[in-house]
Amino acid sequence: MLLAADWNEMRYARRAGLEGSLMNISQNIENQTGISPPSGGKTSLNSPLVDYALKGLQRCWMPEYGRWSHIYHLDGRSQPNESVAHSDVFYTLNVLLGFSRVKEIPETIDLSRIFERNVTQLIRLPVRKYAYGMALWTAAELKLDIPSDVVRHIESLLSDGSSWWNFRAQDLGMLLIGAVMQAKAGQKQWLRFVHALFRFLVEKYLSRSGLFFDAPSGFRRRFASFASQTYLTLACYRYGEFTGDLGAIEIARACTRNLIKLQGPQGEWPWFFDAEQGRVLDFYEVYSVHQYGMAPAFLECAEHHDVQEARDALIKGFKWVLGDNQLQRPTLVPELQLSIRSHVRKGELHTSKLRMLRAIQNAYLLRPAGLIDPTNVGLRLECRSYELGWILWSFGQRSDLRELTYNEAFIRAPSGG
């Protein structure tokens, strides 16, 4: 059965009884993950935004693998889910992290079973190092145990200080968050890594500009993405909250304020930065997940730590998804309860070389970066499951911001099927 919503009777109630299946897999979804609606007529505890994401995730589920997909293509192909095993596993852990903040989880979904099935794949697949950090973080939030062989693998990685020099910002950020959250959850063996990882962050990744480098050394170091800023900012907030280190909180607050100053005129969160100079090198691609998921994650922390401008920046960025953007159209796909991945320069859908070349030129020739003519902006027609997971994380526990979470775009979205 599929989750559905009867907005005519109740703005965010669910009902059972939708016939048929989604891509002929709904029965498998129900059998293998237990995703099925609550009993008919029951009022959802979730906001329409969160229920929208939950329904979208049903489409991304691959029952044959027991995980959510790498890509759900939006180009009309008959089999829209594309699997890339190591990416599927990471995305699934990210989605499970989001579920840890959902008020009403479909009653038959088995979070622990999905976690166990996927976390064991980390040491069998060529995953990025940040996936281990996500496993630590997700397990702590869901109060689940990590298999001992996976724990040993992560401890071995973190015990080898020489390997840290190969960490990209996202690796370090997620590993630090994961270690902090494990220690906070009572797993004290991770404490021996927490302080050392934070010192490494401050010594090697913090730029005088207030932004974060992408690596501890090398040519690539100064060229940092929005993800670099997101995960290291979140790591500083979490470390500071856990240890009481006000300096860590101030580092996070400073980066947050710098990012807000660099936000685009319609709330765009730029993709590429020169961390050395503290400026934007390229706005594109502008990703929906940054607008509705990742930026709101660290901006929520910023609100808690008195960054007064954080709330307005969050709202402005989210409204980009609702249509306040260059193309003057939402990046939502309401009939599928999904979202369009990004605004991208036309001609650059299948290459990142031009983007990197442009960034290098802008950095060394001190060229300003800005938005381009909208006629040269296209869409990347895909949705990734982790993007919906970030909605769950960033808005699952928020009872404010009703202009976003109860927006008509989510209330009026078709029920699916």
- Cβ-Cβ contacts under 8 Å for 105 (sequence gap 6 or more): 99, 111
Using N-to-C axis directions, what is the helix angle for 226-243 and 295-304, rounded to 10°?
Answer: 30
Q: Which of 8, 11, 3 is nearest to 406 (CA)?
A: 11
pLDDT at 107: 81
| pLDDT computed for residue 38 by the predictor | 43
120: helix, coil or strand? helix
Q: What's the pLDDT score for residue 125?
A: 98
Residue range 335-391, pLDDT digits in tens:
999 999 999 999 999 999 999 999 999 999 999 999 999 999 999 999 999 999 999
In this structure, what DSSP letter does residue 147 have? P
Are 332 and 339 contacting, i.e. CB atoms less than 8 angstroms apart? yes
Q: Cα separation of 296 and 233, whole Å?
A: 12
Q: Which residues contact 223 (CB under 8 A, 6 or more apart)?
A: 214, 272, 273, 274, 275, 281, 356, 359, 360, 363
Give exposure, 1-19, as e/b (b: 16+ Cβ within 10 Å). Answer: bbbbbebeeeebbbbeebe
Contact status, residue 13 vs residue 40, Cβ threshold 8 Å: no
| Angstrom distance (rounded) from CA 58 to CA 166 | 36
Residues in the chain with pLDDT values less than 50: 1-39
Q: Would strands 81-82 and 71-73 be described as parallel, antiparallel, or unpaired?
A: antiparallel
> What is residue 42's predicted lDDT score, i.e. its pLDDT?
74
Task: Select from 296, 316, 289 the least CA-distant residue to 384.
Answer: 289
> For the chain, what percent of residues have pLDDT higher than 90?
88
- All structural domains of the chain, each given as residue ranges with its CATH number in brackets, are 26-411 (1.50.10.10)
Task: Take residue 416 and report the two structure tokens written for it.
Answer: 């699916």
Task: Report the C-alpha gap between 190 and 177 in whole angstroms.
Answer: 11
Please report the pLDDT score of residue 106 as a whole number.
86
How many Cβ atoms from other residues are within 10 Å of residue 189's Cβ? 11
User: How far apart, in Å, are the Cα atoms of 100 and each of 140, 176, 276, 353?
Assistant: 10, 19, 36, 37
**103-to-44, 54, 137 alpha-carbon distances in Å:** 9, 12, 19
* Residue 137 near residue 95, CB atoms below 8 Å: no
pLDDT of residue 417: 54
CA–CA distance, 129 with 175 (Å, rounded to integer): 8
Nearest to 391 by CA among 29, 60, 140, 38: 60
